[in-house]
Structure 1
Amino acid sequence: MFFKKIILNIGICTGFLAGEVSLSVVSAGAHEWDMPAHFHVVNNGFDYTRRDIMIPMRDGVKLHTVILLPKNVRSAPILLTRTPYDADQMAHNQHSSHMDVALYGYDNMSDVVTEGGYIRVLQDVRGKYGSGGDYVMQKPLAAPKPGGTDESTDAYDTIDWLVKNLPQSNGRVGLLGISYDGFLVLMGLVNPHPALKVAVPMNAMVDGWRGDDWFHNGAFREQMLPYLYEQGATHANSEIWWSAHYDDYDTYMNAGSAGGVGNARGMQQIGFYRNLLAHPAYDNFWQAQAVDKIMARQSVHVPTMLVHSLWDQEDIYGTMATYYAMKPHDSQGDMLHLVIGPWFHGGEIRKGAQLGTIEFGSDTGVYFRQQILAPFLASALWGKSAQTPPVVAFVTGENRWESLPAWPLVNLDSPPKTADMTAAALRPDHKLIFTKQVGPLNASVAYVSDPARPVPYRHRPILAMDGAGSTWHNWLVDDQREASGRTDVAAFVSDVLQAPLTVRGQPYVHLKAAISGTDVDFVVKVIDVYPDEVADQPELGGYQLMVSADIFRGRYRNGLAKPEAVPANIPQMYSFYLPLANHTFLEGHRVMVQVQSSWFPLYDRNPQTFVDNIFLAQPEAYKAMTVQLYEDESRVDLPVVNRMGATP
C-alpha cells in the first residue's frame, strides 16, 4: 500500500522559508524512522536563552551548570544557586518560553530574578544529577592543602569561570539559596571570590546535631530518614522510600528503633547513615562541620542577608546561630542583615498571607521579596540606592513588621542573664506564674511516659512528609489541644492577660525532674492560648498555638558530647534554649507551657533505659516510667519586652 507523508513547515526548522508548505511522497518499500538521530530544540520565541555547561573545578571534576540569559541581556549581574536538588528541573519546571514561568516552582524567586534583569545560574553539586565527582552530605571544609576541594572552593571556581566566560555579565555575582542551598551559600562566604558581592542564605542547614535536620539536642529526627534514603542512595534520587503503612506513626512504631527503620531498608550502604549511627553524641564529627562555628572564624566582607522563619519545621536553629556567630565580626556594622518572618521552611518565597489556620493580615512573602530582598540585591549587584535596615522582623500576634538596629546576641552554650528574662514558673496546680523571682516550693507534678504509646507530634494519621495530602510544612502551627488533654503531658496555663505581652528572643528552659528510669527526653512548648471565642475567625476559639518549642535528650544534661545515664529517682536539672520567638500574646489570651517526654515519630523514642546507642536499642530496653517535675526550680525564662522594646 502506498502512503503519503505530509510535512507542514511553519518556518521554524533550519533550511525552510517561513510559511512554506512542502509535500513529499514516500514510495512503497521505503522507510524513515519517526525519531531523528538528534532532535534540535527550536526556541526562537523564548524571552531567554538556556545554556548547559560543564564547568571544570580545580581538580578536574566538572559540575553541571544551567545558565539562563534574558533576551538581549547586556552587562547584567549573575544570581547563582548551587544545589543538590537537580539544577535541570529547577531551570525549566514548567517548560515555558517565559523565563519567569520556567523558573517558578523550585525557584519561586522568579519575580525577583526576572523583574531584576538578572542572569540566573543553577548548578548541581558534586555527585548529584548532572555533575561529576562524589557526593558527600554537607561536605565539610577540606584541610588546607594544594588541590583540596570542598563546597567553598567549588563556589569560588564556579564564580571565577562565570565572570570570565559570560560577556553578558557585569562581573558581579550574588549567591542565594534555601535550606541545603543556603548551607552552600554560607560555604561560598569562606574565602570568597572577589566577584561575590552579595549573599542571601535562607533557612540554611547549619548544625545538624544542635537543632537542624538530623538531631535536636541529641534527639534524632527519624522522619528525615526518607530524605536521607532518597538523597544518599543514588546520584539522581532514583530510589524511592517505601512504606507499608498509611500512618507514619505505625511505620516507625512497628520498626522499633530508628536504626531498625533504616537497617530494614538497607541504609547501611549509605555513608551518611553510617555516620549517624556512629556519632549519636555531639562529638568532633558534628562540631567540626557546624557552620556557625566556621563563620565565627570569618570576617564579614560580603553584604549578607540571613533569613529566618519563625515556624521553620526543618532548620529552625541555623540562621540565628549563624547571626550570633557572624555579628561580632561585622566590623563595618553594615555588612550583616537579618530578616525574621512568619513562615515555614522556605515560606518566604511563596504566598505568605497565612500559615495553616493562622492569618497574618498581608502577604508577607511578597513583602519580603519586593520590599526587602529585591532592593538589597539591586544595591549590591546593580549599584542602585537602597537602605536595608540591619534587622527587619515580623511580630506575630500583632501582625506587623518592625525595623531594629540589631538583634540581641545570645551565647547558645551559656544560660541567659536572669536580669534579661521574665520567669514563667510552673506551679503544682498547673498554673503558670510570671515572676522575676522563683520562690522555693516542695510540690511536684507527675506523669507517666510510656514508649509503647508515645505522644504524637501532630494529629493522627500522620502522613509521610512528601506524601499526597501532607501538610508537613504547617505542623508547627497545629492546634495543641489534643496534647494538652493527654495524661502524659503536663500543661501549665496563666491567667487571662490584662495587657499584651511581647516575647522577643529565645526562651530558656529550666526543668528540675526526677525519673524512675535512667534516660529521658523533655519536650517543652510555649503556647499562645486564644480566647474561648474569636468573632472574626471562629475556628480559632480556644486555639493553642505553639510559639516556641523543642526537645532535649536527658543523657546530655551534663555535656552534649558525653552521654550519661540519669540516676533513677534523684532530681536532676535540665536546661536548654528554645527556638526564637517574636510574638505578642494579646490581651485576653493566655500563656501555656506544656511538658512531655516524647514527640513521635518526628523524633525517635527514648527507650528510657540508658543504652550506649539509642539507634540500636533493643525492644526490652523500652520501658514506661514516672516523670516528676519539681516546681521549686522548674520554669521557662521568657525574653519579655514591651512594645517599645524595653524590658518591663
Structure 2
Amino acid sequence: MRDGARLETVILAPRGATKPLPMLLQRTPYGIPDASVNLGAHPSLAPLLADGYIFVFQNIRGRFRSEGTLVMMRPPRDGKDPRAIDETTDASDTIAWLLQNVAGHNGRVGMWGTSYDAWTATMALLDPHPALAAVIEAASPADQFLGDDFHHNGAFRLAYGFEYVAFLETEKTSNSRFPFDRGDIYDFFLDLGPLSNADRRHFHGKSPTWSDFVAHPDRDAFWERQSFVAHLRKTRVPTLNVAGFWDPENFYGPQKIYEIFEKDDAEGLNHLVLGPWNHGGWHGGTGRKLGPIDFGSDTAVHYREAIEAPFLRLHLHGGDESPGPMPEAQVFQTGVNRWRTFARWPPVEGVSKRRLYLREGRALSFESPTATGADAAEVYVSDPANPVPFYQRPIRPLLQAGQWADWLVQDQRFVDHRPDVLSFSTPPLDADVAIAGDILAELYASTSGTDSDWIVKLIDVHPEGLAPVPPKPGAPPAEVAPDLRGYQLMVASEVLRGRFRESFSRPSAIPANRVVKYTIDLHASAHVFRKGHRILVQIQSTWFPLIDRNPQRYVGSIFQATEADFIKATQRIARSREAPSALVLPVLTR
C-alpha cells in the first residue's frame, strides 16, 4: 500500500488460459482461501469459471497476516491529507499492484463480495481506479445507525452487535466464538441486565467497536462518517446491487446504495436485484427454499447463471461475449414465485398507495375507521423484565447456530397470543393483493412512559385446511410438503425507537400519555397475498434479544441506563377517525 503496509493476498489463475482474462478482486476481514485451493470444487462458481477470471482474495488491514490495524468499517479518509489511507486507497493501490505484477490479464478488474466484502467493494467506488470496470455489492451495509447490522432506526441490535464484536475483535488471526454460558441467549442477555454491564463483565475496554457503541448512542458525526449517504455520488462504474428479502443483516444497505446512485444515473450503470434470500443466499445452495418456504425454482442458481455471470461478462469481457444491456431492476415476486423486471424501483406506474387500517375487533380493513375518541384504541402493557422473544425459544447464539439464517421466515404464531403483542387481521381475501415497493406504517400511539420502542410486522397468514397427504405405503419415496396450514410468514418488519421520532441526532423524551404519530419504514417488498390468505399486522414494544431493552423511562443514553430506569409501560394504539393507524401498501393495479 502507499504507506508501505503489506496486505496478505492470494491470486488464483486458471491453468492453460488461451487469452487475457479480467481479474475479480474480493477484500475481506474474514480470511482468504489457501493458495492451493481448487475453485473448480465450488459449484456456485461454475458460471464464472466457465467465462474465465483471475480471482484475487485479500485480507484487509489488521486481519490474519495483513499488516496494519483493523478499524471496523473504517471511515473515509481526509481527502486533504495525501498520506491518509482508507479502504478506498487500499483497493486502488491493490488494483495498481495487480496490473503491474500479475501476468495474463486484460486490463479490467471487477470487485465483488457479500456483507463486509461488499462494503469494501462499495468503498472502492468513492474514488475508483481507472481499471475498475464493474462492482457487485451484495448486502453491503450503508448506514449502521438507521438500517443495517448494528442499529435499526436507532434501536441497538443487541445479540448481533455483541456477538459480532466478539467474533471480529477478540483475535486478529481467527474468527472467535463468544463462550456463552447459557443454552438460551434470551436468558444470557436478560441476566446481563442494563447494557452498562457488558463492558465490565465481558469486554473490559478491549473492544474498540463496543466502546464506540457506548460513546455514540445517537446518530452523531461518528455514524455519519460511516454512512454512504454522505460520500457516494454519481458512479462511473457499472454496479449491481443485490439484496435478499429475508436478510437479517443488510437488506437496507443495497437498496440505499442503489437509491443514492440512481439520483444521477443517466447512463444506466446502476442496477438492482431483490430475491427471496437470507444473508448470502444468492451464492449458497440452490435458493429453492428458505426454512419451510418453497419458492418453486432454484432462485440462487438463476441469479448466478442469468444475472451475475452476464453482468460481469458484459463489463469485464465485453466484445463478442457481451450479453447486451441488463434490466434496471430484477425482482422476485414472492407468493406467486416468479421473477419480474421493472424499469425503475420502487415502481410508480401501475401502483396505488392504499391504507390498510387498524379497526375495532382487532380487524384490518381498507375502509377508514369510523370510531371516534380516546376509547377507540387497543391497549397492552410492555414489561422490559419479560420481553417478547424474536425467535421461538431456546434461542441459540446467532453466529454459531442455524437459527439466525432463516429466523425472518419463521412462523410468528409463537407470539400471536401474548398479551403484549397486538394482532390485527383481515378476513380471508376474496382476491389476490399484490404489492411492490416501499411499505410504511403510520402508527398513532401513546405510552405511559417517556420512551418506547414500536415494532410493526406485516404477515401473510396461510389458509387452514386438510393436512398434506403422505405417500401411500409402498409408493416411491417422495418429499412431503411441509404443513403450512395457518402459517404466519413475516413479509416485512421494523422497529422505531421512540426517542428518535423527530431526529436521530437529537433524541427527546416522549410526552407521557399523549398520542403521537410515528411513521415507520418497513422497507420494500414484492409479494402477493393470495386469495384465501389473510393479511395480519402485529404490534409490540420489545423484540428480545434482537433489540436491546428500552427502559421505557427516558434517559440520556440507554447504554448508561441502570436497573432502576426500567419500568413497565401501558401502550395504547389508536384506531380512530382522528388517529387512523394504518399500513400504507404499494398495491399493484396491473
User: TM (normalized to structure 1)?
Assistant: 0.85
Post-superposition Cα deviations, 1:409-462, rounded to whole Å, max 9, x if no partner, equal 89xxxxxxxx95211111131000114x56563300000111111000010000
Match of 1:516 among 448, 452, 455: 448
Match of 2:339 among 388, 401, 405: 401
Residues 500, 612 of structure 1: alpha-carbon distance in 2 compared, 3 angstrom cutoff: same
Alpha carbons 1:113, 1:120 under 8 Å: kept:
no
Off by >6 Å, runs of 4+ in structure 1: none
- Aligned-partner residue type, residue 191 of structure 2: N
| SS of residue paired to 1:629 | strand
Find the aligned partners of 2:370 and 2:499 in 1 and give their Cα distance.
Answer: 28
Worse overlay, 587-596 or 262-271? 262-271
Aligned-pair distance for 1:535?
Answer: 6.0
Find the aligned partners of 1:279 and 1:379 in 2 and give their Cα distance.
Answer: 43
Aligned-pair distance for 1:379?
Answer: 0.9
- Aligned-partner residue type, residue 482 of structure 1: F
For the pair 1:641 / 2:576, whether they are aligned, the reply is no
| SS of residue paired to 2:505 | coil
RMSD over aligned Cα atoms:
1.8
Match of 1:591 among 535, 558, 576: 535
Find the aligned partners of 1:240 and 1:495 in 2 and give their Cα distance.
Answer: 46
Equivalent residue for 1:496?
428
Aligned-pair distance for 1:308?
Answer: 1.0
For the pair 1:229 / 2:169, whether they are aligned, the reply is no
Unaligned 5+ segments in structure 1 are 1-56, 411-418
Post-superposition Cα deviations, 1:80-113, rounded to whole Å, max 9, x if no partner, equal 00000111xx346xx65x3222xx4xxx742233
- Aligned-partner residue type, residue 336 of structure 1: N
Alpha carbons 1:554, 1:566 under 8 Å: kept:
yes
Alpha carbons 1:159, 1:195 under 8 Å: kept:
yes
Say how many residue pairs are matched.
Answer: 565
Find the aligned partners of 2:75 and 2:44 in 1 and give their Cα distance.
Answer: 28
Equivalent residue for 1:258?
195
For the pair 1:315 / 2:260, whether they are aligned, the reply is no
For the pair 1:181 / 2:117, whether they are aligned, the reply is yes
Match of 1:441 among 372, 383, 393: 372
Match of 1:337 among 251, 261, 271: 271
Equivalent residue for 2:98?
162
User: TM (normalized to structure 2)?
Assistant: 0.93
- Aligned-partner residue type, residue 345 of structure 1: H
Find the aligned partners of 1:233 and 1:438 in 2 and give their Cα distance.
Answer: 54
Find the aligned partners of 1:240 and 1:374 in 2 and give their Cα distance.
Answer: 34
Match of 2:396 among 463, 468, 477: 463
Match of 1:382 among 317, 333, 347: 317
Alpha carbons 1:293, 1:325 under 8 Å: kept:
no
Aligned-pair distance for 1:257?
Answer: 2.2
Post-superposition Cα deviations, 1:302-344, rounded to whole Å, max 9, x if no partner, equal 1110001100101121111111111011121x20111110000
| SS of residue paired to 1:265 | helix
Alpha carbons 1:447, 1:489 under 8 Å: kept:
yes
Aligned-pair distance for 1:517?
Answer: 1.1
Aligned-pair distance for 1:498?
Answer: 1.0
Alpha carbons 1:245, 1:251 under 8 Å: kept:
yes
Equivalent residue for 1:452?
385
For the pair 1:99 / 2:39, whether they are aligned, the reply is yes
Find the aligned partners of 2:44 and 2:265 in 1 and give their Cα distance.
Answer: 27
Post-superposition Cα deviations, 1:113-167, rounded to whole Å, max 9, x if no partner, equal 3222111100000111111111101111001121211111111110111112112
Unaligned 5+ segments in structure 2 are 469-480
- Aligned-partner residue type, residue 78 of structure 2: A
Alpha carbons 2:163, 2:399 under 8 Å: kept:
no
1:92-171 equivalence runs, <5 A:
98-101=38-41, 104=42, 109-144=44-79, 145-171=81-107
Match of 2:304 among 361, 369, 373: 369
For the pair 1:556 / 2:526, whether they are aligned, the reply is no
Find the aligned partners of 2:113 and 2:466 in 1 and give their Cα distance.
Answer: 38
- Aligned-partner residue type, residue 595 of structure 1: I
Find the aligned partners of 1:131 and 1:534 in 2 and give their Cα distance.
Answer: 59
Post-superposition Cα deviations, 1:502-554, rounded to whole Å, max 9, x if no partner, equal 11112111111111111100110000011013765451100000000011101
Find the aligned partners of 2:297 and 2:460 in 1 and give their Cα distance.
Answer: 21
Identity rate of aligned residues, in percent? Answer: 39
Aligned-pair distance for 1:385?
Answer: 2.0
Alpha carbons 2:108, 2:133 under 8 Å: kept:
yes
Find the aligned partners of 2:204 and 2:433 in 1 and give their Cα distance.
Answer: 48
Find the aligned partners of 1:310 and 1:372 in 2 and give their Cα distance.
Answer: 17
Alpha carbons 1:229, 1:267 under 8 Å: kept:
no
Equivalent residue for 2:240?
305
Structure ranking higher on relative contact order (CA contacts 8 Å, 6+ apart):
2
